[in-house]
Every structure is written in C-alpha cells, then in structure tokens.
A and B are shown apart, each in its own frame.
Chain A
Amino acid sequence: MTWARWVQLWDRREDPVILAIIRILVAGVLLYDFLWIQHLGLVEALFTPQEGGGFPDVYGRSPVPELYRMLPGTAGTAFAVWTVMVVALLCFGVGFLTPLAGLIVVFTSAQLAMVLPLGDRGIDTLLRNVVLILSLSSCGRRLGVDGVLFGVRRLAPAWPRHLLILQLATMYFCAGIQKTALSWGPLGGFSALFLILQDPAIAAWRFDWLARWYPLTQLATVGTLIFEWSAGLVPLVYWFRDTRTAPGRLRAWFNTARPLRIWVALGVALHVGIACTMSLGIFPWAMLALYPAFVHPEELARALRARLRAR
C-alpha cells in the first residue's frame, strides 16, 4: 500500500450516526455499571483506600494513583470521583460537550483502575480504548446535544469507526490465539467451556448437570475458537469490499457470500450465550454495544428507508 493510499484510507467521510449510536450504548452500559455499584453500596468499599474503609491497598503500591496523591484517601473523595464519573457518562451519553466528557470518563476510569487493579477487568480496558476513540470523533454532533449547540454533522471522518472495527477484530483474534490450554483443543477434548462453567466464580448458575450435555459444550468450545480465530479475517473482508472491482475468486466469494454477516451473527450468539450462563457483569452487553460498528451508515440508512416504505 502506498503512502497516498494510506492517507486516503483514513480520510474518508461518512455519516457519524453509527458512532453516535455506539456512544449512547457504551455510555448506557457504563452508566448502568456505576449506578449498580451505588445500588449495592460499594462506592466506598471499591474506591476508598483501606485506611478509609475500602478494599484497595492504595498506598502500599507504587506508584500511588494520582487521584490519591492529590486528594485525601477518604470515602468523600471516592463518592466525589464516582459522581464525576456518573455526570461525565451522562454528558457523554447525551452528547453534551462530548470530547471533554469522554476524556473525563477515560481518565477517571483509569484512575479507578489504578485504585483497585483487581476490580478492573478486560472489558474496562476495551471501553477506555473505545471511549478515547469516540472522544476524538464527531459522534456528539449526531443524536446529541452538541449537534443542537454547534450544528449537526452529517458527514464526518470515518476513521473512528474503522478503528473500532480493527479494535474488535484484534481483541477477538488475540483472545483466540492465546487460548493455548489443552482443554481448548482436541487433546483436551474441547472441554474448556465445560470446565469454565464449573467455576463458581464465573458460572451464573450451577452446571453440575452439564456432564449429560458434554458434547454440546464441546461444540460451543469449537464454535468459540472458530469465531475468535476467524476475527483475523475481518480486515481482509473489508479489504475485499474496498477493492471489489479487482479480480480474484476469493474476493468475489467474500463479496457475494457476505461472511461478515454470519460472523457477526455468531458473535451475537456467543455474547448472548455468555450473558445467559456466566456471571461476567457488563461484559457481554458492552461487547454487543460495539457491534453497530460493523454496520455502514449507508446500510443503516437503506434499512430505515426500506422500513419506512414498507409502512
């Protein structure tokens, strides 16, 4: 790929409506998570140093998070930071001063991750990556207050959506190739999902009866691996789509069979399955909140037009 083509690739424009939808969904999921913390009475416990009554050993680690270098390690500080997070998420969700609100979400979430690293999961890292990208996009100028205040944008840089796609593909592919335990493969009898569902810290319910349905869990293990490994092909799908006029049977097949739709459907099934069987909190919903990235704004517009015509 030449430099000119690389520049052109990241200089494309499209309606930022998809980014706006992702913004709203991500903010909604995170807002739910933080309100749930308050509902459970965990703000103090999770985010106050042990000296103030919480779980985290903030001052026993190095470096001490900036938050507790600048502010006292009290429950009051924890509540203040929780409030900042909730307000920032609300602003981000409604698209009010979106870039600023998004950056506050990222930096506050990062501080909270440093306060209690064990409580910060992979999904939190992924959502910080995503919110950072969205903060640098025009997502607040569509379906948001920023559109009302500063003018709606119907054409904006497409690179943030492309980066989100790349992020999702990378995450799945890397998760797939790192599943190196024998239980994920034939030598371990594809027993990984069966074993995971026996773990009381992960399973949502008791699955001791699952031995009778062992082949089903083996099939689901294989399905998970196929889905994650094939994420490595997602950039190729987009490349073939972008060069559809070029020759090649593989390219033609990819462009007619639409394998991306099947892959996305598999992903939805995977996350709905996780939501029904595992106690992983916002993980499956946050992942699904990012799936609109696979829809081109034009596809969405076409679908909406077709729906209107059908009425």
Chain B
Amino acid sequence: MSAAAPSRWPAVRAAGIAAVLFVHGLATLPLPHSMRRASFDEPVAQEELSAQARLLRRIGVNVTTEELVDVMFRSGTAWVSVYNAVLKPLEPAFRITGTGQSWGLFTYPDTFPHQLIVEVRSSKSGPWVTLFAGLDPEHRWMRDVLAYRRVRGVYDGQTTKPGASWNNLTKWLARRAFTEDPAVQAVRISFRRFHTVKPGEPPDTTVEAQRHARTWARAQVMR
C-alpha cells in the first residue's frame, strides 16, 4: 500500500495568506486615498504648513507656505493615482467586509478644536440658556449620548463642512429638548471654536467664534 500523498492544503493556505498580506500591506501604506485642495486652507493645516515652511527656510530651503502646499498637493495627487490603480479593483471586497488598514490615529492634534454647545430659550426674545457644553461640568444635559463615540463622530467629523447628518443630529437633539421641557420654544446647537496654545505661549482669543449654528423652533420640529 502506498503512502498517502501530501496534502496541498498547507501550500494553498500559505499562498492565500501571502496574497492577503500583499494586499493589506499595500493598504497600510500611509498614502492619501483622496485629495482636496481646500483641506490645506484649514487653520490647523495652515498653522502646521507655516511651521514646516519656516523650518525648511531655517535649513536653507527657500520655500513659501503656498509653494509647500503646491508640492504637497501635487505629490499627494500622484499618490492617489497610484492607490486608485492598485487598490481600486479590490475596493468592493474591502467595502463589503468593512475591513481596511488605515491607521492615521491622532496624526494632527487639533489646535483649533470645537466645543459643542446646546442652548434653549423659552420665548422669542428671551435669553439663551446653556444645556450642554462639551467638558463643562455645569452643563451636562445628555452628556452620555453626546460623549458616545459614534455620536461624537457625527459632530466632531463635521466641524469643517457640516453635511446632512449635522442637520439631522441637531434636529434630533432639538426634539429631545422640546419633549423633555414643554416650556422650551427654540433650541440652538453650535460649535465654539478656539485656539489651543502650548503652555508659555500667549493665549489667542482672536479665532474664537460660534460656528455652524442650527436653530430649531418648536413648530419646525414637533409637527
């Protein structure tokens, strides 16, 4: 009786793992998946780029912030083309499994963060009363909900250019406020942007601003 033929399974598995490692290896490369020229105009990007341009000038590379933006945008766009050519065909597989290898975690700490603020008022000309302000221990209305990571993603991810889900979130919050207190006639949800500076640097209040405010009247929401 002859010995059993060696199984091909280990070799097939090893080939499969090699293919997966190759694809995911490419996906791990920290290359941009898309480029938007407008991203370079954000205050945090401008602050970072100005500092980098200053640094380059100090070591003898004479470059302005605008020139640096041009170089970065052009090289980034080139990388996007490479990414699209190699990994685009595999996108359906990544999409349907929700898998991926993008690990840019706290790449650029936000020096212009936004504080979410929820305010209500009981009459048309009455004063706005704060219900919630991010991290403010005295205004903690629905803190658990607003600090929950998926909800935080909805508002913190839209501080630059609020989309439909920002409107939907604010309307949903307004409905909760109207339901909880029948005296409330209007709800305003907005961000307060401020500038974080390092210890020892002079405080900068010039950029403080209320942004992306959405005001909802009871009649608009509780129909």
A interface residues (Cβ-Cβ under 8 A, vs B): 3, 6-11, 36-37, 40-42, 45-46, 50, 53-57, 60, 66, 106-107, 109-111, 113-114, 116, 118-122, 124-125, 128-129, 132, 157, 159, 163, 166, 170-172, 174-175, 177-184, 187-189, 191-196, 198-203, 205-206, 211, 214, 279-283
Q: Which one of A11, A191, A206, A283 contacts B149 once the chains associate, using CB atoms below 8 Å?
A: A283
Q: Which of B145-174 touch A at CB < 8 Å?
A: 145, 147-158, 163-165, 168-169, 172
B89 within 8 A of A: no
Q: Which one of A41, A106, A129, A159 contacts B17 once the chains associate, using CB atoms below 8 Å?
A: A159
B163 contact set on A, CB distance < 8 A: 57
A122 contact set on B, CB distance < 8 A: 102-103, 105
Residue among B95, B105, B157, B164 having the largest count of chain A Cβ atoms under 10 Å: B105
Closest residue of B by beta carbon distance from A112: B98
Contact status B17-A198, CB under 8 Å: no
Contact status B104-A175, CB under 8 Å: yes
Closest residue of A by beta carbon distance from B134: A200
Q: Which one of B14, B109, B168 contacts A195 once the chains associate, using CB atoms below 8 Å?
A: B109
Closest residue of A by beta carbon distance from B25: A170
Contact status A181-B48, CB under 8 Å: yes
- How many chain B residues touch A (CB < 8 A): the figure is 63
A41 contact set on B, CB distance < 8 A: 145
Contact status B10-A196, CB under 8 Å: no
Contact status B135-A203, CB under 8 Å: yes
Closest residue of B by beta carbon distance from A211: B199
Q: Of the listed stretches B63-71, B113-121, B123-131, B205-213, name the one at the interface; the rest are far from the partner chain.
A: B113-121
Contact status B116-A191, CB under 8 Å: no
Residue among B14, B52, B134 having the largest count of chain A Cβ atoms under 10 Å: B14
B144 contact set on A, CB distance < 8 A: 40
B223 contact set on A, CB distance < 8 A: none
Q: Which one of A121, A178, A182, A188 contacts B153 once the chains associate, using CB atoms below 8 Å?
A: A121
User: How many A-B contacts at CB < 8 Å in the complex?
Assistant: 202
Per the bound structure, the CA–CA distance linking A42 and B21 in Å amounts to 37
Contact status A50-B164, CB under 8 Å: yes
Per the bound structure, the CA–CA distance linking A220 and B148 in Å amounts to 25
* 9 residue pairs bridging A and B, Cβ less than 8 Å apart: A10-B17, A55-B165, A60-B164, A106-B99, A107-B96, A128-B97, A182-B48, A189-B198, A191-B198
Please give me the 8 A-B residue pairs with the lowest Cβ-Cβ distance, nearest first: A110-B98, A200-B134, A281-B149, A119-B150, A57-B164, A211-B199, A199-B113, A195-B109
Contact status B113-A175, CB under 8 Å: no
A118 and B135 contact, Cβ closer than 8 Å, known pairs A40-B145, A110-B97, A192-B106: no
B30 contact set on A, CB distance < 8 A: 174, 177-178
Contact status A199-B196, CB under 8 Å: yes
Q: Which one of A119, A128, A181 contacts B109 once the chains associate, using CB atoms below 8 Å?
A: A181
B24 contact set on A, CB distance < 8 A: 170
B42 within 8 A of A: no
Contact status A200-B100, CB under 8 Å: no
Contact status B105-A201, CB under 8 Å: no
B202 within 8 A of A: no
Per the bound structure, the CA–CA distance linking A190 and B169 in Å amounts to 36
Contact status B103-A178, CB under 8 Å: yes
Q: Which one of B13, B21, B108 contacts A181 once the chains associate, using CB atoms below 8 Å?
A: B108
A56 contact set on B, CB distance < 8 A: 165, 168
Contact status B150-A37, CB under 8 Å: yes
Contact status B98-A118, CB under 8 Å: no
B18 within 8 A of A: yes
